């Protein structure tokens, strides 16, 4: 079983508005991400909300039984607090964890490739890459769950796991540049968003 930890608790301070409400491929980004997860092969989805959860709760009400909604009241302490909140709801039956950030668009096909890599190799960390550049999301074996429980904001959260277990990484080369997208600022968004989305979606000018 693979469980996704969908991290959507941040304040979006650098974007200047809630990232999850930005238009992406005809949908609010939060809804797009959730729908992609529901279309994927993951068996469980833990959605971690934090700052202004009311922005996103309506998208979750009609979701299927795979989805668990978690509120991180300590979101202001950083993304690591949301990761720890999410993995606290993981059961022993889970084989791997897929970490999905709100501001990094995903697709079921990329998730499927990561899953195949996980099932066919002995590596404990699986990361997509595009033209040799590391992307997202990251899939981590539950064998590292103990190490995940010890991460902190001071050691850069998941990055500390990637550093410590570098030899356990399997890079999965993909043909989709979106694995590199990371919408931290309005400029990041404009560089990644399709032209039709700029015409019809959220105006950041």
* pLDDT bucket at 57, cuts 50 / 70 / 90: confident
pTM as predicted: 0.86
204 located within any domain: no
Buried residues in 93-105 as b, exposed as e (16+ CB within 10 A): ebebbbbbbbbbb
Closest by CA to 92, choosing from 198, 197, 187, 3, is: 3
What would the mean pLDDT of 171-197 be, rounded to a whole number? 74
Which is more confidently placed, 76 or 189? Answer: 76
More confident residue, 31 or 184: 31
Q: Which has more pLDDT, 57 or 132?
A: 132
Domain contains 201: no
Q: Is residue 78 part of a domain?
A: yes
Taking the chain, what is the end-to-end CA distance rounded to the nearest angstrom?
Answer: 43
Q: pLDDT tens-digit profile of 131-183?
A: 999 999 999 999 999 999 999 888 888 999 999 999 999 999 999 888 988 77
What dihedral do alpha carbons 192, 110, 79, 27 form, nearest 10°?
Answer: 50
The CATH number assigned to the domain holding 160 equals 3.90.550.10
177 CB neighbour count, 10 Å cutoff: 12
Q: Say how many domains are in the chain.
A: 1
Residue 200 lies in a domain: no
Q: Please report whether residue 203 resides in a domain.
A: no
Residue 113 has pLDDT above 90, yes or no: yes
Q: Write out the residue range of the structural domain in which residue 73 sits.
A: 2-194
Residue 113, token pair as written in the block:
């490739």
């Amino acid at each position: 079983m693979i469980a996704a930890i969908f991290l959507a608790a941040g304040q979006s301070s650098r974007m200047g508005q809630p990232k999850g409400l930005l238009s992406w491929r005809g949908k609010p980004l939060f809804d797009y991400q959730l729908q992609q997860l529901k279309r994927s092969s993951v068996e469980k989805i833990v959605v971690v909300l934090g700052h202004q959860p009311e922005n996103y709760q309506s998208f979750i009400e009609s979701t299927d039984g795979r989805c668990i909604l978690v509120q991180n009241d300590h979101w202001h302490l950083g993304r690591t607090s949301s990761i720890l909140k999410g993995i606290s709801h993981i059961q022993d039956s889970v084989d791997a964890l897929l970490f999905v950030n709100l501001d990094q668009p995903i697709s079921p096909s990329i998730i499927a490739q990561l899953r195949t890599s996980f099932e066919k190799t002995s590596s404990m960390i699986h990361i997509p890459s595009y033209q040799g550049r590391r992307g997202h999301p990251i899939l981590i074996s539950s064998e590292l769950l103990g190490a995940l429980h010890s991460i902190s904001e001071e050691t850069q959260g998941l990055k500390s796991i990637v550093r410590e277990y570098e030899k356990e990484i399997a890079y999965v080369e993909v043909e989709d540049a979106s694995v590199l997208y990371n919408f931290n600022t309005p400029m990041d968004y404009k560089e990644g968003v399709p032209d039709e989305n700029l015409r019809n979606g959220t105006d950041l000018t």
